Chains A and B, each alone.
Chain A
């Protein structure tokens, strides 16, 4: 517990951990939006989520190699992934959308392996990164550093979240998506082309992941085989936030980021992720306990 003492003596370090956690968490949240959407609308848990993120990173990496400013490459990553998302939907997802969850997990797991190997063939297994060229703010005598890419990432996450919320509420497509999520059969009867809705949803998910990947490659590093970290984090965020709750996704994403940082500082890096998983178990147990109590009241 020496490290706890350290935080009490020098609170400036908690500030570093807190700020960084909030910003980093927003990147996780960005990757998780789409998972909540796809899960809620199509009842598919997209295991290939992380691979979409990494692929988005590679698009930015390639464009940066050709001299494009990486920040400007973000929309291109999203666009490329949108097209890829449509393609994957047409080839695979369309066949499994009405099947049970197990089939869809298997299928998207397959897609994730395929994407990993394709990326490995094209980009090799080397670790890649892109300099954003945005710089860092140094506060409090260099004690707190804020990487401007992370701030940008946070802004993008918030804007995408807001746009997504408005889009789902007001636009015709958004309404169709929500209707399909509520009851696909009824939606079909009322003349909604659910196939198109599914395709849009899945492609939208891929596009958001692409943007997230673009930020990941500017913040950290990418490699064809580290997508799983983002899939798992998205999964956790969605479980905590619930489906179809955009604000909840941002909040739980940021909470995840902050908790990870503090767990890493206090308990050591080896417990950074382990702690999160234990927390997930606690939250699930607590939630089912609360639900059970509610039922008793009703009875």
Chain B
């Protein structure tokens, strides 16, 4: 009997489905009146929430400034811009869901990237599926650019470039001391995740190019809390260069333990100095460490929206109450690049905008932007800064350096 009743109810259930399907789709929200709406899933909660905040502030500052400067002109008409945000909770699965939601339900046609390579990797297949262009400034992993994605554009340098410059710097120094660069020995300790392993690949490539010997090649586990074993090896083998990358945790650990264990290595190059605030935490202990960065305020770049890199730096601070890390700057630049492409395309057709993005050749306060076939930006170099007297001083590549590097590091 029960089953019979269920069968009787079936048509009604179908009817409900039919009504739901037939319900009018929300009006295409990509352009609402005279506002162009971008979509972004950013980490407001979870483990990337700190960098998620930098990303959002970077986007927001761009929106505010571009609107104040008269907005975007498309086909002779001026539009304001806005961003529809969702919280991806720092989880890739959620990010992918939200990308679907942005595109399918909210009708967003222009997507800005989330924070980090992992989340970008989760969203890219979705935007690709719907042929929706995405401009991002926080996914640097090499694996994003070897999948043949056509709608993904990244304004930042890719991860294998992060610390490769340190190797070249060491080679330069060796030549200066009358040594053969191939006599330089390198120790590598990077975390065992895709992003950090890309960094390692870049370092290994450049070390091989110079014929250098890699004496330590440790992969730090994710649950890493102690580098004693690795650093004891460094003490024993005395390499010329020690390269460490393990997000903020790795940066804090290595600077802390290298002092505690008095490990004397002529060159220490690491990532995430700014995010980990190694200067604030260790002051003296952080001296002479080399830090890789995407952008610094002392670079000579400038554009019409923000003026010089230094202007951006100060404006950001006056609005948000802290100086922008590069994560914020590259987020701002992503919006600028997107807007520039929309203006050049002269329409809201996603294909036209994609072509315009691919042909981008733009100077921003963040640096020059010019995309390769794969969608990464090859025009802007990575910068190495050395910590001196509690300040970051750009030391490489030499054409942007404000001062020469102090090499070797004075003994601890």
Residues of A within 8 A of B (CB): 3, 6, 10, 13, 16-17, 20, 24, 117, 120-121, 124-127, 129, 136, 138, 142-143, 145, 147, 216, 220-221, 223-226, 228-229, 232, 260-265, 268-270, 272-274
Question: What's the minimum C-beta distance from A60 to chain B, rounded to whole angstroms?
Answer: 15
In this complex, which of B46, B229, B275, B277 has the most chain A Cβ atoms within 10 angstroms of its Cβ? B229
Question: What's the minimum C-beta distance from A231 to chain B, rounded to whole angstroms?
Answer: 10
Residues of A within 8 A of B249 (CB): 127, 221, 223, 226
- Closest residue to B248 on the A side, CB-wise? A127
B97 at the interface (CB under 8 A from A): no
B184 at the interface (CB under 8 A from A): no
Q: Evaluate whether A125 and B217 lie within 8 angstroms (CB atoms) in the complex, with A138-B262, A142-B262, A145-B260 already known.
A: no
Query: What is the CA–CA distance of A20 and B235 in the complex, to the nearest angstrom?
Result: 15
Question: Are B219 and A268 in contact, with the CB atoms below 8 A?
Answer: yes
- Closest residue to A147 on the B side, CB-wise? B260
Question: Are B219 and A10 in contact, with the CB atoms below 8 A?
Answer: no
Query: What is the CA–CA distance of A263 and B230 in the complex, to the nearest angstrom?
Result: 10
Ranked 9 nearest A-B pairs via Cβ: A264-B229, A270-B219, A269-B218, A229-B223, A127-B248, A265-B229, A145-B261, A221-B252, A125-B50
Question: Are A269 and B45 in contact, with the CB atoms below 8 A?
Answer: no
Query: What is the CA–CA distance of A264 and B249 in the complex, to the nearest angstrom?
Result: 18
B225 at the interface (CB under 8 A from A): yes
B240-266: CB near A (< 8 Å → 1, else 0) gives 000000001101110010001110000
Question: Are A20 and B223 in contact, with the CB atoms below 8 A?
Answer: no
Question: Are B252 and A129 in contact, with the CB atoms below 8 A?
Answer: yes
Question: Are B47 and A13 in contact, with the CB atoms below 8 A?
Answer: no
Main secondary structure of the interface of A (DSSP, over half): helix
Question: Are B223 and A17 in contact, with the CB atoms below 8 A?
Answer: no
B237 at the interface (CB under 8 A from A): yes
B303 at the interface (CB under 8 A from A): no
Query: What is the CA–CA distance of A265 and B48 in the complex, to the nearest angstrom?
Result: 31
B99 at the interface (CB under 8 A from A): no
In this complex, which of A138, A232, A270 has the most chain B Cβ atoms within 10 angstroms of its Cβ? A270
B220 at the interface (CB under 8 A from A): yes
Q: Evaluate whether A221 and B225 lie within 8 angstroms (CB atoms) in the complex, with A129-B252, A268-B217, A270-B219 already known.
A: yes
Residues of A within 8 A of B256 (CB): 129, 220-221
Contact of B219 among A20, A224, A269 (CB under 8 A): A269
Question: Are A6 and B260 in contact, with the CB atoms below 8 A?
Answer: no
Residues of B within 8 A of A264 (CB): 218, 228-230
Question: Are A265 and B226 in contact, with the CB atoms below 8 A?
Answer: no
Query: What is the CA–CA distance of A71 and B169 in the complex, to the nearest angstrom?
Result: 42
Question: Are A20 and B228 in contact, with the CB atoms below 8 A?
Answer: yes
B232 at the interface (CB under 8 A from A): yes
- Closest residue to A148 on the B side, CB-wise? B260
Q: Which of B197-217 contact A (CB under 8 A)?
A: 217
Residues of A within 8 A of B237 (CB): 6
B125-155: CB near A (< 8 Å → 1, else 0) gives 0000000000000000000000000000000
B189 at the interface (CB under 8 A from A): yes
Query: What is the CA–CA distance of A126 and B52 in the complex, to the nearest angstrom?
Result: 12
Residues of B within 8 A of A142 (CB): 262
B49 at the interface (CB under 8 A from A): yes
Question: What's the minimum C-beta distance from B256 to chain A, rounded to whole angstroms?
Answer: 6
Question: Are A24 and B217 in contact, with the CB atoms below 8 A?
Answer: no
Query: What is the CA–CA distance of A142 and B237 in the complex, to the nearest angstrom?
Result: 15
Residues of A within 8 A of B253 (CB): 220-221
Question: Are A270 and B281 in contact, with the CB atoms below 8 A?
Answer: no
- Closest residue to A262 on the B side, CB-wise? B229
Known: A223-B248, A224-B47, A264-B229. 9 other contacts (CB 8 A): A117-B45, A126-B275, A126-B277, A127-B249, A138-B262, A145-B260, A221-B225, A221-B249, A221-B253
Question: What's the minimum C-beta distance from B273 to chain A, rounded to whole angstroms?
Answer: 12
Question: What's the minimum C-beta distance from A16 to chain B, rounded to whole angstroms?
Answer: 5
Question: What's the minimum C-beta distance from A84 to chain B, rounded to whole angstroms?
Answer: 22
Residues of B within 8 A of A120 (CB): 45-47, 49
Residues of B within 8 A of A6 (CB): 233, 236-237
- Closest residue to A127 on the B side, CB-wise? B248
Q: Which of B39-92 contact A (CB under 8 A)?
A: 45-50
Residues of A within 8 A of B225 (CB): 216, 220-221, 226, 229
Residues of B within 8 A of A262 (CB): 229
Question: Are A260 and B262 in contact, with the CB atoms below 8 A?
Answer: no
Query: What is the CA–CA distance of A263 and B275 in the complex, to the nearest angstrom?
Result: 30
Question: Are B219 and A273 in contact, with the CB atoms below 8 A?
Answer: no
Contact of A269 among B47, B50, B221 (CB under 8 A): B221
Question: Are A24 and B260 in contact, with the CB atoms below 8 A?
Answer: no
Question: Are B232 and A17 in contact, with the CB atoms below 8 A?
Answer: yes
In this complex, which of A232, A262, A272, A274 has the most chain B Cβ atoms within 10 angstroms of its Cβ? A272
B276 at the interface (CB under 8 A from A): yes
Residues of B within 8 A of A13 (CB): 232, 235-236
B363 at the interface (CB under 8 A from A): no
Query: What is the CA–CA distance of A207 and B310 in the complex, to the nearest angstrom?
Result: 49
Question: What's the minimum C-beta distance from B258 to chain A, rounded to whole angstroms?
Answer: 11
Q: List 22 A-B contacts (CB under 8 A).
A: A6-B236, A10-B236, A13-B236, A16-B235, A17-B232, A120-B49, A124-B49, A125-B47, A126-B275, A127-B249, A129-B252, A220-B226, A229-B225, A232-B223, A261-B232, A264-B218, A264-B229, A270-B218, A270-B219, A272-B221, A272-B229, A273-B223
B372 at the interface (CB under 8 A from A): no
Query: What is the CA–CA distance of A264 and B224 in the complex, to the nearest angstrom?
Result: 11
B227 at the interface (CB under 8 A from A): yes
Residues of A within 8 A of B224 (CB): 269
Residues of B within 8 A of A24 (CB): 226, 228
Residues of A within 8 A of B261 (CB): 136, 145
B192 at the interface (CB under 8 A from A): yes
